[in-house]
Structure 1
Amino acid sequence: MYSLILHVKRSNTELEKLVFSSATTLSRKGQNFTVSTYLIESLGFTTKLAESISKKVSFEDQGINPDSVLTLFRSYGFTESQISTIITDYPKLLLLDAENSLAPKLKFLHSMKGASTSEFTEIVSTVPKLLGKRGDKTLSVYYDFVRDVIHKCQVLSHSSLPQGNLENKIRNVTALRELGVPQRSLFHLLVSRYQPVCGKERFQESLKKVVEKGFDPTTSKFVQALHVVYQLSDRTVEEKVDVYKRLGFSVEDVWDMFKKWPNSLKFSVKKVTQTFETLKKCGLTDEEVVALLKKNPQFLRVSEQNIASSIETFLGLGFSNGEFAMMIKRYPVCIGFSAETVKKKTEFLVEEMDWSLEAVVSHPQVFSYSMGKRMVPRCSVIKALMSKGLLGSELPSVCSVLACTDKMFLRRYVRKHNDKGLVAELMAIFTRVHKACLEQ
């Protein structure tokens, strides 16, 4: 069904050989028939369709008997329309030994699954590729999956959820499963309003592009990339790549960003340019903005208003333009924190703990730490040690107190003491404050 899709992990050269390998004659009843002639006369295909299919199979005189394949399908209750669909989507079935290869699979599925003839023929004709599976267990699992997808699609067809061509949806979702896309992601694709699994040629082209970019089908980024590529024409993609190039990115940079965050290609030219210029207002140079977005392309979604608000918040707390720029370079996600979070944590660190603004600038990751689970309990222990004169006259660095794990912190500031009573007291402070913060 999807020659290109099923063998995506082969080289492009091998793909082309597989898809376009062709032979033009078939020995039948002592006469030479072209493949296209056979399809026209036996199944009533149009000349155009028959010629297209003849490029995908090799009918050579090696004992091939396609008539026996068609007869076998008819004996199991497949209609002429279903048989035509099967051969159109998976013409290589005509090359199989009907008695020894195909018949056992049809018999197994029909007898073991207990489905009605109509359900059985619907499932097989919708995704005939399942007949290419080997082994009863694999065949059974694949058949059950197709049946479940058909059921879900039928539910969708009676709901207000996005629909589209049912047959295409089932085939496309099945092809994605074949690649390894997790089942939890497949249902989301079925109900997506962007309909990335509705088309046929367009779906195949989009999937091929995503696979060629090296996305892992088992990850969510694969599905995200499929959404994006399906929605964008080649011309639109070229225009967006050109915008990035004008801003100082290389083509390789653009595709690296796409692999990190597929949605980086979704934004309009205006949005990309606007975000770039707004980030420069943070005190960054063109080269620094490029470096920031290459590493964190998700910052393209931050609005101009949020960036402006972030600048205002940090400057209002006493940070200089240079210090703010330094924090953004060291920890870009600072831009995304709310004004309330930034103010609360800065005031705690500077006013209550007496660390300097420069200390915060040196480790801006502190804005991502939890007040209740990390900052307040640990700082309470530090305060107790300072009050007892056990840390000298200077506070330890912000990084040494807050950047480590709880285990490391306790080893560094609590359990190292020889006084068991002191250790117990410090542990009590740490535990009590931690619990109290969580209960608030």
Structure 2
Amino acid sequence: MFNLPRKTISIFHRLSSYIVMYKSPSFLRVRCISTTCSDLSQSFAYSYLIDKFGFSQQSSLAAAKYLRFKTPDKPDSVIAFLENHGFSKTQIQQIIRLRPNLLYSKVENNLLPKLEFFRSRGVSSPDLIKFLFNNPTILSRSLENQIVPCFNRLSNLLQSDDKAVKAIKRYPFLVTCNFDAYMLPNINFLLDNGVPESNIRAMFLYHPRSFVMIPDRFIEIVKEVKEMGFDPLKMKFLRAVIMFRKMSKTILERKFDVYKKWGWSEQEIWEAIRKTPHCMDFSEETIMATMDFLVNRMGFKPLLIANQPSVLCRSLEKRIVPRGLYAQELLSKGLLKKYTLSGLFDTSEKVFIQSFVNRYEDIAPELLKLYKKKVDLATGGKYRTRKL
């Protein structure tokens, strides 16, 4: 037997509680802290997760180190509570996989008050299930210290509980993020740079995630947008901030390359962005398919589209294709001599029907059916985005 120094023996004893298991180089690694994996695999919690949820051994080991219950009473009550409030078995399984410590929750004192709070603020049961499933961390946060204060601040910002609920539905992590660290500094910087509070509220309601960011980077983006010549008083300023906020430089360059394939110069692309920042919001495949239809099928010049980039923000399948095909039918029948890019695609559906369908109902009453047929053809999948 080797005679090891006492110090070395002590180190081995301390390390014995840190066991790392590998099945393959890409396999999930499980680190067992303060106990051995062997101990965990013999625990009631380990068996419970496998039997109740069908967890793998590795997932059960990873979760069991946070759980020490020895009877099914408390976890069963949590599962029953979630089931009674409309969560499916699949949803419950995923929630527990992400937040296994919820199985320790006290139903009456912990979980129920949170659901009652959101319902008291106008959240419907289906919406509540959806955003709690998307961010189950909400269920493990303090109602008094986190959820209520955060919701109230959102409600004050948006001037309505109803709007606060809509924002949370769009981005459930609003309730659990650090408002003072990742939202308030960004909003204050916009205000300091002349962005109207009403514009901030309007954009926050529909794009809440874009305002949650490390302030240093957000401030850089705002400064860059201002240097590009965008007016902080106009909504385009915030649209540009949001566009650059969610798009990496690499992705932006790839979209520039798509437009360049259609003959746009870099300057023309930037001019299009200044006119309509969200013309860059779409995937490269969608941009390519839209340009292809407008240029090759409809016959519009690429530079005309560059001068009216708002058209690129219209739905290819629901608006551009059906209206475009319908207008070509009118041309072929001699009912229409010409059409403009904005007249076809930038008008509302009501105005389009009045201008291009109803005005011909005495001459050709079948035109409305024809237009609906074009809509069905487009949305049926024939004109979907294609790979570059």
Q: TM-score, normalised by structure 1?
A: 0.51
The match for 1:208 is: 152
**Residue type of the alignment partner of 1:272:** F
CA apart distance, 1:334: 1.0
Say whether the 8 Å CA contact 2:305–2:311 is kept in structure 1.
yes
1:292 counterpart residue number = 236
- How many residue pairs were aligned? 291
CA contact (8 A) 1:276 1:289 kept: no
Q: Does 1:350 align with 2:295?
A: yes
Deviation at 1:343, TM superposition (A): 2.4
Which aligned pairs between 1:309-320 and structure 2 lie closer than 5 A? 309-320=254-265
User: Greater shift after overlay, 285-294 or 320-329?
Assistant: 285-294
**Which whole-Å CA distance do the structure 2 matches of 1:417 and 1:390 have between them?**
8
C-alpha distance in structure 2 between counterparts of 1:303 and 1:265, whole Å: 16
Q: What runs of 5+ residues in structure 1 fail to find an aligned partner?
A: 1-122, 124-144
- 2:340 partner amino acid: S
Write out per-residue CA displacement over residues 272-299 of structure 1, whole angstroms, 9 at most, x where no aligned residue.
Answer: 256457768xx93254698535357643
- Give the match for residue 266 of structure 1: 212
Gaps of 5+ in 2: 1-76, 383-388
Distance between the aligned counterparts of 1:436 and 1:270, measured in 2? 48
Partner of 2:24: none
How far is 1:313 from its partner? 1.9
What is the Cα deviation at residue 182 of structure 1?
A: 2.0
The worse-fitting range, judged by mean Cα deviation, of 226-235 and 310-319 is 226-235
Structure-1 separation of matches of 2:278 and 2:328 = 29
Match of 1:175 among 117, 136, 147: 117
SS in 2 for 1:396: coil
Mapped to 1, the partners of 2:326 and 2:190 lie a distance apart of 49
Which residue number corresponds to residue 126 of structure 1? none
RMSD: 4.6
Question: 1:355–1:199: structure 2 CA closer, same or farther, 3 Å change rule?
Answer: same
Q: Following the alignment from structure 1 to structure 2, what is the Cα–Cα distance between the partners of residues 274 and 401? A: 38
Distance in 2 (CA, whole Å) between partners of 1:400 and 1:158 is 49
Contact 1:275–1:303 (CA under 8 A) maintained in structure 2: no
User: Percent identity at matched positions?
Assistant: 18
Confirm or deny: 8 A CA contact 2:87 2:129 kept in the other structure: no
User: Superposed, which structure 2 residues align to 1:378-389 within 5 Å?
Assistant: 378-387=323-332
- Rg (Cα) greater in structure: 1
Give the partner amino acid of 1:184: P
Is the aligned partner of 1:185 residue 2:131? no
Equivalent-residue separation in structure 2 for 1:272 and 1:402 (angstroms): 34
1:403 pairs with 2:346: yes
Verify the 8 A CA contact 1:278 1:304 in the aligned structure 2: no
1:353-372 alignment runs, 5 A limit: 353-372=298-317
1:436 Cα deviation after fit: 4.5
Distance 1:201 1:267 in 2: 24
- Structure 1 407/291 Cα, relative in aligned 2: closer, same or farther at 3 Å? closer
Contact 1:278/1:307 (8 A) holds in 2: no
SS at match of 2:161: coil
Given residue 212 of structure 2, which amino acid in structure 1 is its aligned partner? Answer: K
Q: Tell me how far 1:337 sits from its aligned partner.
A: 1.5
1:256–1:296 distance in 2 versus 1, CA, 3 Å: farther
Partners of 2:199 and 2:235 within 8 A in 1: no
